[in-house]
Amino acid sequence: WRNMPETALVPGLIARAGARAATMIEAGPGVARKASPVSYPEPAAADTGTLAGVAEGVRACRRCPLHAPATQAVPGEGPADTRVMVVAEQPGDAEDLAGRPLIGPAGRVFDEALKRVGLERSGLYVTNAVKHFKFAPRGKRRLHVRPGAGEAAHCRWWLDREIDLLRPRLIVAMGATAVAAITGHGDGVTRLRGSIIPLADGMSMLVTVHPAYMLRLTGQEEKRRAWQDFLADLGLVRPFLAGPAATAER
């Protein structure tokens, strides 16, 4: 027990168990994935039978204007047989340049949190709700701009392909854009965070904050609490890593 990093989380988990259970009861069962709010044609050339094909399709995607100023699209990455998929918001400056998800400052927060709860990033599939960087140029810098509902809706087609191929038992939705991409509305991240919410087809969603949230906080105590809560949320992931892929109920 002394050598297990997650042991440190146990007192906090016990202390917040009542509140978490109440939130889950309040959320109710089955926040099913909603139908996409817009319809759009399937990209003609995309091979959607494999993750590699989907990644190729993402790189070639021209379905919304975000592709034009971006350096490149950033597909998801991770093993095809994982049971846990992590969805963040959109690539940032570093990801846009490297073509890989969550490797910049927010990614470093995420990696540190994974380490603290004893999870290997190589065992997770990590992707974004929106695959191109949206930014506003400010001199030499490119400032992050939150993607709009239309851009997220267009990109949802790719997220759906990733979900269909992976059939994850758990989707970790980090922040409102990710929650909205999965459920159709991004309200209530604060209320729902730390809850395991059943989705359609035997999948579940764990809502948590986006790791960049931790970077924005300035108060020591606020930061400490946010970090502790983020670790507690990620501490719920491990049981989902084992077992069969999620299957649709027929």
User: Taking a C-beta distance cutoff of 8 angstroms, is the pair 102, 89 a contact?
Assistant: no
To 5 degrees, how large is the angle CA 57–CA 95–CA 90?
A: 70
Q: Which of 91, 147, 194, 235 binds ligand URA (CB under 6 A)?
A: 91
Does residue 75 touch ligand URA according to CB under 6 A? Answer: no
Does residue 128 touch ligand URA according to CB under 6 A? Answer: yes
Nearer to ligand URA, 104 or 194 (CB): 104
Does residue 92 touch ligand URA according to CB under 6 A? Answer: yes
Q: Cα-flanking dihedrals φ and ψ of residue 65, to 5°?
A: -65, -10
Q: Which of 9, 88, 206, 234 binds ligand URA (CB under 6 A)?
A: 88
Does residue 77 touch ligand URA according to CB under 6 A? Answer: no
User: Taking a C-beta distance cutoff of 8 angstroms, is the pair 214, 107 a contact?
Assistant: no
Using the contact rule CB under 6 A, the part of the chain among 91-99, 116-124, 223-231, 239-247 near ligand URA is 91-99
Give the C-alpha separation, 55 to 80, whole Å: 12
Does residue 114 touch ligand URA according to CB under 6 A? Answer: no
Does residue 90 touch ligand URA according to CB under 6 A? Answer: yes
* Interface of this chain with ligand URA, residues 133 to 162, rule: CB under 6 A: none
Does residue 183 touch ligand URA according to CB under 6 A? Answer: no
Give the C-alpha separation, 76 to 159, whole Å: 9
* Residues 102/106/109/110 CA torsion (nearest 10 deg): -40
Does residue 182 touch ligand URA according to CB under 6 A? Answer: no
Does residue 89 touch ligand URA according to CB under 6 A? Answer: yes
Q: In the bound complex, what is the minimum distance in angstroms from residue 106's beta carbon to ligand URA?
A: 4
Nearer to ligand URA, 73 or 232 (CB): 73
Q: What is the DSSP letter of 209?
A: -
- Within 10 angstroms of residue 28's Cβ, the number of other Cβ atoms is 9
Nearer to ligand URA, 128 or 183 (CB): 128
Query: What stretches of the chain adopt beta strand conformation (E)?
Result: 84-88, 125-128, 135-138, 141-144, 170-174, 196-198, 204-208
The structure tokens listed for 143 are 């400032």
Contacts with ligand URA, residue ranges (CB under 6 A)? 88-92, 95, 101-102, 104, 106-107, 128, 212
